[in-house]
Structure 1
Amino acid sequence: MRKTIVIGLLAAFCSPQSFAAACGPVYGADGIAADKDGKVWVSHYEDVRLGRLDPGSGEFHEFLPSTKGNPFAALRNTWSKTAGFDYSFDFGLQGIALDEARGLVWSTRFNDNKVLRFSKAERQFTELTVPGQISVRFDIPIDAQGNVWFVTGSAPPQGAGGAVIKVSPDGKIETLPFPLEKFGSGAVAVDPAGHPWVSATPDNGRAELYAWTEGGFKRQDLPDVGRYIGSLHIDARGDLWFTAPEKNAIGRLRRGRVELFAIPTANASPGTMASDAQGYLWFTEWYGRKLGRIAPDGTIAEYPLPPEEEIPLAVKPDREGRVWFSVAFNYGLFRLDPATGKIDEFPLPVPTNWSKNASQGLSVCTVRSKKTALVADAGTVKTEQSAATEQMVQNAVLRHPKGYPRNRDAVLFEQKCQTACHTWYRVDKAAARRSDWGPTVDRMIEFNGAAISKKERERIVRYMNKNYAQLK
C-alpha cells in the first residue's frame, strides 16, 4: 500500500536556468485534493486523467475524459537540447478543485482554454471553453457557492487581453473586467466573501496586486516583491498569503499590512500553497527540495524531500493533518507526517515512457504494487484510433539505458525493474545524487514485488552503480 522513507540530506540538482532544456517532462500530480472521506484526488500534467486514491486500501481509480490521444505524445520527437519538449501536442490536465457539496471535480486542459467538470455521481465529464489561455495551475480556487476562478491570457510572459474568469457549477461563464489590458504571471484567490484577489505583472515588470471591491478591481498597496508572484492563497482567517520567488520569501497581507517572511533555505523558490486545519500554511520549495510550513507568527519549519526526489509540485494537507505532495519525475504521491517527519510514498500506476499509454487512452501499468488495485472508470464513449495511429504508437522509440541492448545487465534491469513505471529519464536525472542503488532495488523487490533473484540483484546494482551514480 505504501512505503516509508526517512527524509535525509539534500544534494545538488538541476538549476532553474537549466530546467526547461535539461529536466524534460515534469511528471507528478499537477493538482492534489483530499475529500471528506479521506480519498485523495489527482490531476496529471502529462496524462489526460483524473485519479482517486484510497490510502487505506491502496485502490486507485482513473477517470478518463477521452480515449483518443495524440500519437505525437508517444513519439516525443519534438525534444531539443536547447528548448526541451514541445508540449503543444500534449493536452494533459492541470490543477484541481473539489466541490463536495455538488459532487464535482474540476480541472483544466494543459496549455489550453478548456475547463473540465467531472460529475462523480454520473461518471461524466463536461468540457467548457473560456476566453483566453488558462494560466492557473496546481490549486484551482473555488468559493463557497461552488464557483471556480481562473486567470486567462495569451502566451507568456505578457498576455494580451488577459481576464479574470468565474465558472459556476452549472457551467455559466462570467468574465470580470480587469484594469490591465496586457499582463503576465497571473494568479487568483478568493476570500470567504467570494471576492477575488488577483496578482499580475504589467508592462513595467513589477508584480501588482488587485482586489475586487465595489464592483471592480482596485490596485492594492504592495511593496517590491519582485517581477512576479508565484501563487495566492487566502486562509480561514481571511489573510492573504503569496509566494515571492525572487525575494525567496512568503508574503502575508493582514489588515492592510504586508509582511515578508524570509525562507531559511537560500534560493528555495517557493511555489504553491495550502492551509491545514491547525492554522499552518504549507508551501513547496521548488529548488530547495523541501516542503515549508509557516505558522501564524511567521515561524518557518522545513521538511526535506526524500534524497532521490526533487522539485515538489502540488501540496495539500488532509483532514488528519498529514500533508500530501507530488514531485517532478515521479508519478507517485507522497504523504508527510509533520509529527514524525516520516514520508510515505504511494506509487500510482503510470503510463509507459513518455506517456505512451496515455496517448492510447489506456489506464494500465505493466507492474504496480501487489497491494494496489487499478480500476479504469472511463465514463466516456470510446473512440477508435486509425491503423496508422496505432502503428505510430507501437513504433514509438523509448529512451534506453547506457549500453542497451549490448549490455546484458542493462537489459536485465529494464526487464526486471520495469521502466514502464520508472522512466529512464528519471533514472538518469537521479544519477547525480545517488552513490548506491542497492536500497532502491531492494524496495522494488520488497514493495513492488519485482521477481529478482539474489544473483540478478547483484548484477543490477553493479550496473546501476557503475553507470548511474555520482562520480567519485
Structure 2
Amino acid sequence: MISSAVDGAPYGVVVAGGEVWTTLVHTGRVATVSGRVFDLAAPESRPSVIVDGPDDAVWFTRNGDERVGRIGYDGTVSAVDVAGAPYGLCVGPDGALWCTLMSSDAIGRITVDGEVTTYPIGTAGAFPAMITTYAGDLWFTLNQANAIGRMTVAGEVTTYPLPTAAAGPVGISAGPDGVWFTELLADRVGRIDADGKIDEFVLPAGSKPHAVAATPDGCWITLWAAAALVQVDAEGNITERYEFGDGAEPHGLFADGDVWVALEKGSVAHIQPRG
C-alpha cells in the first residue's frame, strides 16, 4: 500500500484522464495526487463525491453551496447551480450526470451543457445519499427511509425497503449481477438484483461501512469507524483487509483493478490487491 499526502481532508476519489483526483471537503478545493490543486473560490462549498464525466472532465458535488462542479482535464473550472444539497453523483445510462439532492428528497439530472431537471423521489425525509447506474436505471440509497430507490430516466420511482431496521444505507455501486450498498448503522453490506431481491451480509461490529466499489466477483468497502478497507466475495465473505491506522477516516473509494481510498486525515491510499 502506498499513501500520498494531500492537504485539505480528501473525501471523494476517482481516476480520470490519467490522474488520481480527490475532493478536499474542508477547504473548497479539488486536487490531483500528482500535485495540481484547483481552488473553487468557495471555502464552504464542501466538494464531496467526484466522478469521471462523459466530456473529458471530472464532475463533483458541492453540497455546501448547492452546485455541481466541473474541471476539465485541461484544468478549466466551472459549475452548475443545483438546489437541494447535491451529494451522490454518477453518469447515467443516458450520458447525463445524475445526483442525489439530500435536502429536497429528489434526484437531479445535469447535462454536460448545464441543463438541470429535478425529479421527486416521493418519500419525505428520505435523505438520498449515493447513486449509481444499473440495468438502465438509477439506483440510490435512502439513508433515512431505510430503503433502496430505483428511478427510470423518465423519473418513475420504485422503493425497496431493507430487511434490517434502521440500517442507515449510504454507499452504493453497481456490479455485474446486482447493486451493492452499505448499511452504515447496521454494520452490513447488501446486494439487490434487478428484480428487487435483497441479500445482506454481516461485517465487523462497530465498523460503520461507508463507501462501496463493486468488482466482477464481489466488492470493496471502506470501514469508516474501523479505519480499514475490506474486500468481500459474492457470498459476503471477507477475503482481504487493509488497515489505515487510527483516525484515518476512509471515505471515498475507487476500484479499477487497483484500489484508491480517500483518507480524510490527509492522504490518498493506493492498494494493489494481493494476487
Instruction: State the TM bucket, normalised to the shorter chain.
Output: 0.7 to 0.9
1:98 aligns with one of 15, 35, 47: 15
Aligned-pair distance for 1:258?
A: 0.6
Is contact 1:92–1:110 with CA below 8 Å preserved after alignment? yes
Is contact 2:146–2:167 with CA below 8 Å preserved after alignment? yes
Q: 2:95 matched to 1:191?
A: no
Task: Tell me the equivalent position of 2:22.
Answer: 107
Q: d(CA) in 2 for partners of 1:221 and 1:328?
A: 30
2:241 aligns with one of 322, 346, 358: 346
Distance 1:215-1:313 versus aligned 2 partners, 3 A rule: closer
Q: 2:228 matched to 1:332?
A: yes
Aligned-pair distance for 1:222?
A: 3.0
Distance 1:329-1:215 versus aligned 2 partners, 3 A rule: closer
Aligned-pair distance for 1:185?
A: 5.5
Q: 2:174 matched to 1:275?
A: yes
2:214 aligns with one of 293, 313, 317: 317
Q: d(CA) in 1 for partners of 2:63 and 2:146?
A: 26
Q: d(CA) in 1 for partners of 2:145 and 2:6?
A: 40
Aligned-pair distance for 1:193?
A: 4.4
Task: Tell me the equivalent position of 2:59.
Answer: 149
Task: Tell me the equivalent position of 2:160.
Answer: 261
Q: d(CA) in 1 for partners of 2:146 and 2:15?
A: 30
| Structure whose CA Rg is larger | 1
Is contact 2:89–2:99 with CA below 8 Å preserved after alignment? yes
Q: 2:129 matched to 1:230?
A: yes
Q: d(CA) in 1 for partners of 2:126 and 2:110?
A: 22
Q: Secondary structure at the match of 1:140?
A: strand
Distance 1:225-1:147 versus aligned 2 partners, 3 A rule: farther
Is contact 1:105–1:117 with CA below 8 Å preserved after alignment? yes
Q: d(CA) in 2 for partners of 1:251 and 1:199?
A: 11
Task: Tell me the equivalent position of 1:248.
Answer: 146
Aligned-pair distance for 1:264?
A: 0.3
Q: Secondary structure at the match of 2:116?
A: strand
Aligned-pair distance for 1:250?
A: 0.3
Task: Tell me the equivalent position of 2:77.
Answer: 173
Higher relative contact order (CA 8 A, sep 6+): 1
**CA displacement, residues 374-398 of structure 1 (integer Å, 9 cap, x when unaligned):** xxxxxxxxxxxxxxxxxxxxxxxxx
Distance 1:136-1:267 versus aligned 2 partners, 3 A rule: farther
Task: Tell me the equivalent position of 2:40.
Answer: 130
Q: Secondary structure at the match of 2:234?
A: coil
Q: Looking at secondary structure, tell me which structure has more helix per residue.
A: 1
Matched AA of 2:3: E
Distance 1:190-1:225 versus aligned 2 partners, 3 A rule: farther
Is contact 2:105–2:127 with CA below 8 Å preserved after alignment? yes
Q: d(CA) in 1 for partners of 2:184 and 2:138?
A: 21
Matched AA of 1:334: V
Task: Tell me the equivalent position of 1:200.
Answer: 101
Distance 1:306-1:199 versus aligned 2 partners, 3 A rule: closer
Q: d(CA) in 1 for partners of 2:144 and 2:244?
A: 36
2:204 aligns with one of 273, 288, 306: 306
Q: d(CA) in 2 for partners of 1:333 and 1:293?
A: 18
Distance 1:134-1:98 versus aligned 2 partners, 3 A rule: farther
Q: Secondary structure at the match of 2:38?
A: strand
Instruction: List runs of 5+ in structure 2 lacking aligned partners.
Output: 249-275
Identity, % of aligned positions: 24
Distance 1:251-1:225 versus aligned 2 partners, 3 A rule: farther
Distance 1:144-1:189 versus aligned 2 partners, 3 A rule: same
Q: d(CA) in 2 for partners of 1:233 and 1:322?
A: 16
Q: RMSD between aligned alpha carbons? A: 2.5
Distance 1:311-1:348 versus aligned 2 partners, 3 A rule: closer
Q: d(CA) in 2 for partners of 1:189 and 1:354?
A: 28
- TM-score relative to the length of structure 2: 0.79
Q: d(CA) in 2 for partners of 1:317 and 1:106?
A: 19
Distance 1:251-1:222 versus aligned 2 partners, 3 A rule: same
Aligned length: 245
Matched AA of 1:274: S
Task: Tell me the equivalent position of 2:265.
Answer: none
Task: Tell me the equivalent position of 1:464.
Answer: none
Task: Tell me the equivalent position of 1:83.
Answer: none
